[in-house]
């Protein structure tokens, strides 16, 4: 690949748009069937701030770059369909990145298991609901002799101080200590309020896999609930509060009794707070690393904005309604979770391609494209697509035992951005690597295509 072509892709990316991390990176995850009971009725939840105003418009790309011939692209698509490595159930959508014209439609309106490609949906839904500049606030509220650590949805808190672009539990403790000393207090009781989200903390159907691939969905955690030795903490909100308490005690504020769960009373007073990285950065992180836990949090933020219960069921309704309100085709969409761990998650290639095209053309959704891994360079594509596609493809990966997907944007050899989504969900057991190789070969053909 020439330096000029790489520079061209960089320019298009800027102008046009302006764990399962471990899972997708390793391409290993079990398929799971839903067998557990329905989600219970929700409790009340607090309000959330309104969306940020839209950023200013940015220029469109050069419309004179040549569009590939749809017949040639269709021939490439049918070549992929005939590849025995990919299985019998495949859907493909290719859209012109400039005009939005459909160029390839092979079962594009048929639902398939998208695996982790489904993370594109809560990502764009949250940006639409709140705006990329929105931040999540973790607060400390004081009442009588107790301080309450209140989760606001930021599960990317860091433990150490001075972490760039992340709120720190240590800095929150520092501010709390300063406030308590100002009041002449040297002893407190400590509680955690994680009532922002409701319903079960694990999706019905995850069935015991969750601690390997996703944290219990709570509105407060350090590093998405990950444990240093691998896996996820069984109670990340409590674990974060324990670390917070250790910092208080190290600074001379005695913490008496056991940490308890409690809703901060209405008369409590805020004495300290920290804010997350902007929502756009959380979206980028989610897509680049395929973070299951953060994807679920993003979906619950949509639910909170749109008046749904912030649970698995409420988040599914909210994300679907938000996408439909954006004019996207949600026919056949099923979201028993919003990160793609379940084979029952269903989405069409057309919807995923529409989401990516919207991200490519509307600066409000810049982070959806900017967060995609770059072929052979970053995230879950770091070790994939190292031929013609290297550096000129950005895409979201998806991997389950019998399903694989890739949804993204490719710059052709003649400089035309194409949006694509390919979903295959009857991959032979043990054949995931071969199916991914077949898709990668096809994407490489798109990248090399003049195709006029």
User: What amino acid positions are annotated as catalytic residues?
Assistant: 116, 119, 290
Report DSSP state, residue 168: B
For 357, what's the count of Cα atoms within 13 Å in the CB-facing half-sphere?
A: 25
Structure tokens at 281: 């950065």
Residue 101 DSSP SS3: coil
CA-closest candidate to residue 297, choices 244, 347, 237, 364: 237
What is the rounded distance in angstroms from the CA atom of residue 413 to the CA atom of residue 102?
A: 19
Tell the burial category of 42 from Cβ atoms under 10 Å away from its Cβ (0-12, 13-18, 19+). middle
What DSSP designation does 364 have?
G
Question: Cα–Cα distances in Å, from 327 out to 291, 317, 321, 351, 358?
Answer: 27, 16, 10, 10, 10
CB 83 within 8 A of CB 438: yes
**What is each CA distance from 451 to 13, 91, 150, 232, 388, in whole angstroms?**
22, 21, 56, 47, 15
SS3 content of the chain, % helix, strand, coil (to 5): 35, 15, 45
Measured CA to CA, the distance from residue 146 to residue 213 in angstroms comes to 35
Query: β-pairing, 187-193 with 146-150?
Result: parallel
Place of tokens 């012109």: 96
Which has the closest alpha carbon to 359: 11, 17, 12?
17
Show Cβ contacts of residue 299 under 8 Å, excluding neighbours closer than 6 positions. Answer: 122, 125, 126, 315, 316, 318, 319, 335, 338
Residue pair 130/152 in contact by the 8 Å Cβ criterion? no
CA distance 258 to 56: 50
Which residues of 177-268 form beta strands (DSSP E)? 187-193, 254-255, 260-261
Joined together, the tokens standing for residue 204 give: 């019905």
How many CB atoms lie under 10 A from the CB of residue 55?
15
CA atoms within 13 A on the CB side of 389: 26
Residue 371: closest CA among 384, 381, 361, 386: 381
């Amino acid at each position: 690949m020439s330096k000029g072509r790489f520079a061209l892709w960089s320019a298009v990316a800027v102008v046009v748009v302006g764990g399962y991390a471990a899972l997708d990176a390793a391409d290993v995850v079990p398929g799971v069937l839903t067998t557990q009971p329905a989600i219970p009725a929700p409790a009340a939840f607090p309000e959330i701030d309104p969306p940020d105003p839209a950023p200013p418009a940015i220029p469109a790309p050069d419309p004179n770059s040549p569009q590939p011939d749809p017949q040639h692209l269709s021939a490439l698509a049918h070549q992929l369909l005939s590849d025995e490595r990919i299985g019998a159930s495949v859907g493909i959508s290719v859209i012109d990145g400039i005009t939005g014209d459909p160029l390839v439609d092979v079962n594009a309106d048929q639902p398939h298991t998208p695996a982790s490609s489904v993370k594109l949906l809560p990502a764009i839904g949250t940006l639409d609901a709140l705006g990329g500049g929105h931040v999540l606030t973790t607060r400390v509220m004081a009442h009588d002799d107790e301080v309450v650590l209140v989760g606001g949805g930021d599960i990317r808190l860091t433990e150490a101080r001075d972490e760039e672009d992340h709120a720190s539990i240590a800095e929150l403790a520092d501010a709390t200590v300063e406030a308590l000393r100002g009041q002449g207090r040297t002893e407190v009781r400590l509680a955690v309020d994680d009532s922002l989200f409701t319903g079960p903390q694990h999706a019905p159907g995850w069935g015991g896999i969750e601690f390997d691939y996703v944290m219990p969905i709570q509105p407060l955690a350090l590093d998405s609930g990950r444990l240093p030795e691998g896996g996820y903490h069984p109670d990340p909100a409590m674990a974060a509060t324990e670390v917070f308490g250790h910092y208080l005690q190290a600074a001379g504020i005695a913490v008496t009794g056991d940490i308890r769960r409690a809703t901060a009373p209405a008369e409590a007073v805020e004495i300290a707070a920290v804010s997350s990285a902007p929502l756009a950065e959380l979206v980028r992180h989610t897509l680049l690393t395929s973070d299951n836990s953060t994807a679920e949090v993003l979906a619950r933020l949509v639910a909170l904005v749109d008046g749904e219960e912030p649970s698995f069921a409420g988040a599914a309704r909210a994300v679907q309604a938000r996408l439909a309100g954006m004019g996207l085709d949600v026919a056949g969409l099923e979201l028993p979770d919003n990160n793609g761990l379940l084979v029952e998650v269903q989405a069409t290639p057309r919807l995923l391609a529409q989401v990516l095209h919207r991200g490519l053309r509307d600066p409000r959704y810049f982070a959806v494209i900017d967060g995609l891994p770059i072929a052979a360079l970053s995230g879950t594509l770091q070790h994939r697509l190292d031929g013609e596609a290297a550096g000129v493809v950005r895409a979201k990966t998806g991997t389950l035992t019998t399903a694989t997907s890739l949804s993204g944007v490719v710059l052709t050899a003649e400089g035309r951005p194409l949006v694509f989504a390919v979903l295959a969900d009857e991959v032979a057991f043990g054949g995931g690597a071969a199916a991914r190789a077949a898709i990668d070969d096809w994407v490489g053909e798109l990248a090399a295509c003049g195709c006029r």
